């Protein structure tokens, strides 16, 4: 939902008219777009462009674009995604043809699902060889067409420069997403004059962007919104990742503070509102806080901002927010309006602009409302139904590990995660004071995301502490990137919460499959994570397996100057609670043994087609 709808390339370029190879043009456009880091793995079909990057860095050491080499191309894609999520800029991934390109399919799909702007440049066999099953050929356009925001196959060298520039425009504007450039080797070797400006003709796309940008809230629309707010006694803001993508967090906070409206967020929206604020309800949904979900049940006016009512939030759309007399929906994408849940009021536009306009209108008409009773109810919900766990257990509880890290970092670390139980514990128990401090694979739920995303984030924000919270199963997926972290001297902190298996899968198997642990128990696997980390260059690599050592070891781990690895042997039976089963309403929320729920829950077993 980025507000910038024009290319950042300059109108008059000092190198205009200079004869360059196609590869040199690609690199020059990257430089013009402000790219300062490229993540990728080399190979025959992309060698001309890799060589051009090398020569650029030799000739312009003041503004280099270092090539960060991962263990594999999937890692490169997730590094670019982590860079983009942490910085708000377009991440860049550059790989070779064939398997190099196909290894980026998962990161590309992940970025499309979570609206993350990256540009993936794939080498391709020469134009004349396309379609002949040449060595390391893959039909990139066909493969990526359904998982990317857009794919370009460059067959006309004269359009290369404008294509690359247009790819950045597409990636960052509107609803951000991944754009793929399939670049044949002969196009990279072609020579021609560099124009220094220009983009492809995207008249329809730009017209739609312009229409959204110009679709300002009318006085009549504002009046209807505030009429609904005036009729409300329990308004609630439901904020999603679109708020962060639109750089609208400050506008959202200003609006919420002005009228004292409580805020809950989706998994992707974490950080758009300071979780330490009294009116923050943290995360709602399948594994959201009990008090957030109860607040959704109680709310009489739900204000959805940059959120899409996905199945992890509204598993049963008909019974989602059942007492809401009105629902308002702000989004940049018209296709999200009414897709899952019918709403009373909606606006399609630029979120930052719209929230500012709405606030200005409220101030002009001197709108006021007293929601103090609702605030008291919120405070009671947060106290009565707070997160909790077995604090007396002699086993290390994962929640306690995260609480201790959070105590030290005070909600100011950048947290990346893999996918599974550890992801949900991190979402629940960490505080986030600012946006772009929470990096996780939301819609795709890709295991192995955390470590490479953390590496990308550390390059994007080198002065910040970056912590990867991972699980033993998720860590295995991209464990090769441990060496990448030490190779580049990145002071990343890596935590592996080891419960010897696929914890989330086992939790579901316990709840819905009569405890049959089909292929999810890794207790017999022989991986020694400490030896692995040491072999990959981690000078600090420690296993924590005694509860009484927790505070001391965590403090040492965080204080270590450089890459640090901590494996924590946690209670294998620790679960993620609350939990709302797939396809179920919040009436069926399971709060476990240590979180107080409102009533006994009828544990309906979801239909097999609804699992996960």
pLDDT of 591 over the 80 cut: yes
Residue 504 bears catalytic tag: yes
Q: Return d(Cα 552, Cα 256) in angstroms, integer.
A: 39
Q: Which of 54, 135, 191, 231 is catalytic?
A: 135
Overall average pLDDT of the 426-434 stretch: 98
Residue 579: φ, ψ to 5°: -145, 130
Task: Examine the residue annotation and report whether 136 is marked as an active-site residue of this protein.
Answer: yes
- Residue 342: its H or E element: none
pLDDT of amino acid 612: 52
What is the structure's pLDDT at 5?
Answer: 42
Of 25, 28, 33, 73, which one is the catalytic site residue? 73
Q: Is position 73 annotated as part of the catalytic site?
A: yes
Whether 465 sits among the annotated catalytic residues: the reply is: no
Q: Give the residue-averaged pLDDT of 471-492.
A: 98
pLDDT at 6: 43
The two structure tokens encoding residue 333: 């994408």
Instruction: Quickly count helices (H) and strands (E) in the chain.
Output: 23, 20
Q: What is the pLDDT of residue 63?
A: 84
Q: Above 60 in pLDDT, residue 605?
A: no
How large is the average pLDDT for residues 316-328? 97
Domains and their CATH numbers in the chain = 19-211 (3.40.50.970), 227-384 (3.40.50.1220), 398-569 (3.40.50.970)
What backbone phi and psi angles, to 5 degrees, belong to 419? -130, 130
Average pLDDT, the chain: 95
pLDDT for 3 beyond 50:
no
Mark whether 475 is an active-site residue: no
Mark out the alpha helices in 269-397 (DSSP H runs). Answer: 290-298, 351-364, 372-384
Least confident stretch, 208-212, 278-282, 373-377, 520-524: 520-524
3-state secondary structure of 498: strand
What per-residue string of b and e applies to 460-469 under the rule 16 or more CB within 10 Å gives b? bbeebbbbbb
Q: Is the pLDDT of residue 301 over 70?
A: yes
Confidence of residue 592 (pLDDT cuts 50, 70, 90): very high
Decide if pLDDT at 188 tops 90. Answer: yes
Task: Catalytic residue, from 24, 94, 169, 185: name it.
Answer: 185
Mean pLDDT of 140-153: 98
**Residue 602 — pLDDT band, cuts 50, 70, 90?**
low
- In this structure, are residues 453 and 418 in contact, taking their beta carbons and an 8 Å threshold? no
Q: Name the active-site residue from 228, 286, 447, 504.
A: 504
Closest C-alpha to 536, from 564, 555, 496: 564
Give yes or no for residue 604 having a pLDDT over 90.
no
- pLDDT higher for 10 or 285? 285
Which residue in the list 136, 159, 384, 412 is annotated as catalytic? 136
Q: Give tens-digit pLDDT for 202-248.
A: 999 999 999 999 999 999 999 999 999 999 999 999 999 999 999 99
User: pLDDT tens digits, residue range 256-292?
Assistant: 999 999 999 999 999 999 999 999 999 999 999 999 9
Q: How many CA atoms lie within 13 A of 271 on its CB side?
A: 26
pLDDT confidence of residue 11:
62
> Is the dihedral angle over the CA atoms 198, 204, 205, 210 positive or is it negative?
positive
Average pLDDT score over residue span 31-57: 97
């Amino acid at each position: 939902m980025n507000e910038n709808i024009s290319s950042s390339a300059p109108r008059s370029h000092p190198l205009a008219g200079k004869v360059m190879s196609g590869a040199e043009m690609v690199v020059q456009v990257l430089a013009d777009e402000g790219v300062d880091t490229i993540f990728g793995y080399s190979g025959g079909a992309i060698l001309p462009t890799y060589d051009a990057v090398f020569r650029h860095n030799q000739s312009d050491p003041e503004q280099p674009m270092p090539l960060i080499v991962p263990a594999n191309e999937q890692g490169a894609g997730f590094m670019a995604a982590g860079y983009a999520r942490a910085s708000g800029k377009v991440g860049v991934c550059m790989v070779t043809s064939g398997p190099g390109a196909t290894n980026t399919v998962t990161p590309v799909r992940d970025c499309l699902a979570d609206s993350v702007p990256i540009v993936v440049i794939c080498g391709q066999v020469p134009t004349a060889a396309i379609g002949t099953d040449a060595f390391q050929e893959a039909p990139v356009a066909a493969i990526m067409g359904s998982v990317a925001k857009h794919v370009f196959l460059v067959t006309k060298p004269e359009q290369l420069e404008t294509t690359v520039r247009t790819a950045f425009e597409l990636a960052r504007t509107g609803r951000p997403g991944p754009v793929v450039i399939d670049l044949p080797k002969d196009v990279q070797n072609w020579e021609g004059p560099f124009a220094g400006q220009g983009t492809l003709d995207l008249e329809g796309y730009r017209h739609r962007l312009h229409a959204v940008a110009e679709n300002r809230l009318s006085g009549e629309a504002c009046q209807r919104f505030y009429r609904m707010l005036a009729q409300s006694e329990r308004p609630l803001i439901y904020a999603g990742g679109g708020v962060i993508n639109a750089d609208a967090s400050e506008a959202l906070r200003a609006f919420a503070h002005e009228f004292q409206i409580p805020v809950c967020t989706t998994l992707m929206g974490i950080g758009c509102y300071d979780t330490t604020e009294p009116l923050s309800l943290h995360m709602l949904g399948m594994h959201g806080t009990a008090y957030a979900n109860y607040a959704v049940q109680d709310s009489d006016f739900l204000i959805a901002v940059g959120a899409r009512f996905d199945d992890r939030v509204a598993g049963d759309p008909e019974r989602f927010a059942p007492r809401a007399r009105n629902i308002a929906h702000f989004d940049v994408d018209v296709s999200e309006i009414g897709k899952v849940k019918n709403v009373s009021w909606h606006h399609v536009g630029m979120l930052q602009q719209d929230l500012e306009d709405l606030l200005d209108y409220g101030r002009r008409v001197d709108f006021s409302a007293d929601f103090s009773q609702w605030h008291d109810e919120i405070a009671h919900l947060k106290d009565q139904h707070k997160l909790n766990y077995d604090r007396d257990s002699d086993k290390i509880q994962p929640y306690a590990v995260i609480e201790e890290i959070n105590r030290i970092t005070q909600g100011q670390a950048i947290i990346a995660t893999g996918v599974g139980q550890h992801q949900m514990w991190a979402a629940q128990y960490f505080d986030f004071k600012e946006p772009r401090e929470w990096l996780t694979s939301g819609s795709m739920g890709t295991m192995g995301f955390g470590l490479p995303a953390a590496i990308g984030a550390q390059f994007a924000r080198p002065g910040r502490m970056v912590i990867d919270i991972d699980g033993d199963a998720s860590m295995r997926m991209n464990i090769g990137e441990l060496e990448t972290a030490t190779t580049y001297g990145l002071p990343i902190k890596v935590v592996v919460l080891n419960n010897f298996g696929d914890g989330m899968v086992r939790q579901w198997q316990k709840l819905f499959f009569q405890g049959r642990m089909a292929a999810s128990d890794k207790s017999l696997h022989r991986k020694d994570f400490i030896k692995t980390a040491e072999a990959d260059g981690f000078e600090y690599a420690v296993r924590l397996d005694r509860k009484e050592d927790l505070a001391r070891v965590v403090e040492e781990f965080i204080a270590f100057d450089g890459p640090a690895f901590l494996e924590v042997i946690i209670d294998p039976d620790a679960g993620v609670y609350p939990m709302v089963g797939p396809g179920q309403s919040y009436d069926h929320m399971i709060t476990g043994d240590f979180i107080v729920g409102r009533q006994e829950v009828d544990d309906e077993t979801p239909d097999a087609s609804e699992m996960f």
